Amino acid sequence: MHLSENALVVLEKRYFMKDEAGNSIEDWDALIHRVAENISAGDEAEYQKFYRLLDSGYFLPNSPTLMNAGGDLQQLSACFVLPIEDSMESIFESIKNAALIHKSGGGTGFSFSRLREANSRVRSTNGVSSGPISFLKVFNAATDAVKQGGTRRGANMAILNVDHPQILDFITSKKDTNELTNFNLSVGLTERFMQAVAEDTDYDLISPYNQQVVDKLNARQVFELIVEMAHHSGEPGIIFLDRINDANPTPLLGDIESTNPCGEQPLLPNEACNLGSINLAAMVDDNAVNWQLLNEVVRDSIDFLDAVIDQSRYPLPQIDEMAKSNRKIGLGVMGWADMLYQLKIPYASFDAVDLAAQVMETIDYEAKKRSMELAEIKGSFPNFKGSIYDTGELKRDTKHCDWDALIKQIQQKGIRNATVTTIAPTGTISMIADTSSGIEPQFSLVYVKNVMDGEKLLYVNKWFEAALEEWGMLTHELLEELSNNGSISHFTEMPEELVAVYQTAHDISPEWHIRMQAAFQKYTDNAVSKTINFQNSASVEDIYMAYELAYQLGCKGLTVYRDGSRQNQVLSVGKSTETASEASPAKKVAPRQRPEVTAGTTQRLETGCGHMYVTINTDNIGACEVFVTMGKVGGCASAQLEAIARLSSLAMRSRIKIESIIRQLKGIRCQSPMWHKGKMITSCGDAVGQALEQFLSMQSGQEIKSLKIQAAAPEDNPEPESGNRSFIALCPDCGSSIEHLEGCLKCPACGWSKC
């Protein structure tokens, strides 16, 4: 497979194995050899098949498999759901188990719906309960303490049923976007609730403690509150629980109550699932879909994913048992937008929606057929008896495949895997494959990558670049202009044929986003990870209609994001980057005078450049100045340290909160990170931020919660009055623009991601 420059950056940074000094000891060939050898478990024919599959670029498994197969960790699954029962023992057992999963590189989902509401009686102590929101904060804090796989914080999903007595508190719990930063939130909606919304009637709130009705709420008003909060910050999302359980392959084992962090993988408690994606952009030959190649790749991919189940080392014995009893896998896709570009089909069209259904029907059918064949060789999944395959209750509309015949065959012969298809986020693996993410439209046709010395490089979608060259329009000047917002929809000189085909996320109305999600969902066992992007000017009513449409079209859930709605974004308008305080001028302030005498403390920190001493002085109001000295450094480095100290001092004497200064400094990275007292110091600026944080801790007499790395502090960056301007969050690693895709944040320049 040809690897792009970006793919090599991502592989080097996140996937190639390293020696003790942190130097890569692999290249692409060594990586796929390691993975193929491990997953094939010594079978030479399987090894050759898996090696070719990976090297072709036709298929890639989820990141834990690429990172960990053949290594010491050997934890190959990405998705886990853990149970939380209504007891202190269960709650803290789940916290411990989540920490083990995060340490191994996995993400976790939880349903908090079984926890009794706050202030209800606890019989064993004659006290009252804290309630699910309180414990949700405990889970969030625990995730802070565990770095996932040594590289990033763990991702979590929290779900609360809409009939829980504390549902209103849950819906509004992330109104402050600095709260619960390690969790995605979704409200579990039932058919009864959705009917009450349609009829504008009340519905019951039921206590998990005794199953008694404790209150009633108006369903439409609750639905409107969910929509209002989603408009505000993108959360909570929604999942349709009854619809998910209608497709539960093993209903005798219990109801599905939660999903993994991005919502595409509903799982029973203690279940895990490993995922992989087919590169649809590579399934096009001579401007047509190569259906034979697609079928072959599906079959080999199912073999690979099924083998992963047996090779994975699961973090808990109960997860090992559940994973091997149901053998769930999730084959999905990436490169859908790039496939449409090649076929010259507009994303926002019924032709694209029809093709989506046909592609996914083909994948789902061939995947189940191959899983049935594996069952004949190796046996069905142990919980096959009583499953929807055993009873013939699997539901599929026949459009292009003979489903009736296949369902009857599976009843007779069995099937190897309880689920076979999932549309998952493909964040970094789609960067390795140099293609578009999942089923998302391209976020931008041209994007800017910030490199050293302020230089900016332009990256262009390869299919769009080829089209411009074909039309004789490929010029640097045009690409510079397009880098403004990455769309050609407003370029009057652009040929209509190109404008129609090369659509980007914000060119496409939410209706078409949802229609596309529904088309793929129709032939997907699990669920579909997708973000419905709205322009900043979108109204609450727009999001209300999107949620209703998702329900009507058969989606299992929905995630929305209104551009610029997160208060902690750094904003980019056109080619210039500005904070919201610049976009919305406020009253100017002058710093207070420095007193003649100050008192303070000095801390010593180890940085990649040497010993650093940070002195923080106070006056009668509070902290007023910072001095930074470092060994024998001089020249530019010394000047930069002095600049950091002077600006920090100026901010302090201007009544800027120290927390805001910390947020700006912490997480700044250089090429020489250093461990210091169990913490990574990523740069000299980061060291000053950590010193300020420790100063606050000493001032308060207790350890304060570590502050998140944010693009800007909320108090410094209020939501602007923005109209239709484009707002772009910037990557904390490289400073390039971030995309909101598949329920995640993703940097297309360096591979940084956060879900």
Give the pLDDT confidence of 377-389 residue by residue, as tens digits: 999 999 999 999 9
Euclidean distance between CA atoms 331 and 364, whole angstroms: 8
What is the reported pLDDT for 184?
94
Q: What is the mean pLDDT of residues 9-36?
A: 95
Residue among 38, 46, 62, 262 flagged as catalytic: 262
Q: What are 71-106's pLDDT values in tens digits?
A: 999 999 988 999 999 999 999 999 999 998 988 878
Euclidean distance between CA atoms 107 and 315, whole angstroms: 12
Pull the structure tokens for residue 211: 């199953």
Q: What are 168-218's pLDDT values in tens digits?
A: 999 999 988 888 989 999 999 999 999 999 999 999 999 999 999 999 999
What pTM was estimated for this model as a whole? 0.80
SS (H, E, C) 88-129: HHHHHHHHHHHHHHHHCCCEEEEECCCCCCCCCEECCCCEEC
- pLDDT-derived band at 583, boundaries 50, 70, 90: very low
What is the reported pLDDT for 70?
97
Which domains are present in the chain? 5-75+270-413 (3.20.70.20), 80-259 (3.20.70.20), 439-583+729-754 (no CATH), 599-715 (no CATH)
Pairing state between β 127-128 and 121-122: antiparallel
Q: What are 259-310's pLDDT values in tens digits?
A: 999 999 999 999 999 999 999 999 999 999 999 999 999 999 999 999 999 9
Quick check: helix, strand or coil at residue 610? strand
Neighbours of 150 (CB within 10 A): 8
Residue among 46, 117, 235, 264 flagged as catalytic: 264
Euclidean distance between CA atoms 732 and 737, whole angstroms: 10
264 is catalytic: yes
pLDDT of 587 over the 60 cut: no
Residue among 260, 326, 533, 717 flagged as catalytic: 260
260 is catalytic: yes
Q: What share of the chain is helix, strand, coil (3-state, %, to 5)?
A: 40, 20, 40
What percent of the chain is modeled with pLDDT above 70? 88
Q: Quick one: 410 exposed, middle or buried, by C-beta within 10 A (0-12, 13-18, 19+)? A: buried
What is the reported pLDDT for 703?
38
What is the reported pLDDT for 344?
98
Q: What are 23-80's pLDDT values in tens digits?
A: 999 999 999 999 999 999 999 999 999 999 999 999 999 999 999 999 999 999 988 9
Instruction: Judge whether 90 and 134 are in contact, CB under 8 Å.
Output: no
